[in-house]
């Protein structure tokens, strides 16, 4: 693997890169352009992976939120119930907390 390029930190660095790409250093023109293209492709692929992780995390958070609502509904049902119905609602709340419901 070659040396990994880093993103330019300021406008001056970006200008230098653009000058190199557009021929200020003609003998490096193709080489620099290929390196920058490879760098950009790698960065886009890294971004795709990061987006995928965010989407997966978002799905997990959505499941957790739905589960919390289930628990709250069963607790409310228990509070509004008596006897066996109350016990069943509390058992359902426990199952939901254990993610078995």
The structural domain count of the chain equals: 1
Residue 8 banded pLDDT, cuts 50, 70, 90: low
Average pLDDT over residues 80-98: 94
How far apart, in whole angstroms, are the C-alpha atoms of residue 98 and residue 92? 10
**Residue 4 in domain:** no
Q: What is the DSSP letter of 9?
A: S
Prediction pTM value: 0.52
**In this predicted model, what pLDDT tens digit does every residue of 27-72 receive, in sequence order?**
545 566 778 889 999 999 999 999 999 999 999 999 999 999 999 9
**Residue 1 in domain:** no
**In this predicted model, what pLDDT tens digit does every residue of 42-54 receive, in sequence order?**
999 999 999 999 9
Indicate whether 3 pLDDT > 70. Answer: no
Range of the domain at 15: 11-97
**Residue 2 in domain:** no
**Residue 43 in domain:** yes
> 20 or 54: which carries more pLDDT confidence?
54
CB 42 within 8 A of CB 30: no
């Amino acid at each position: 693997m070659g040396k990994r390029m880093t993103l330019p930190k300021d406008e001056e660095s970006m200008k230098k890169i653009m000058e190199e790409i557009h021929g200020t250093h003609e003998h490096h023109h193709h080489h620099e352009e290929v390196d920058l293209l490879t760098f950009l492709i790698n960065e886009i692929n890294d971004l795709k992976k990061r987006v995928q992780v965010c989407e997966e995390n978002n799905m997990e958070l959505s499941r957790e939120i739905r589960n919390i609502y289930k628990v709250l509904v069963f607790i409310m049902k228990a509070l509004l119930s008596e006897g066996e119905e109350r016990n069943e609602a509390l058992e359902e709340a426990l199952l939901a907390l254990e993610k078995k419901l």
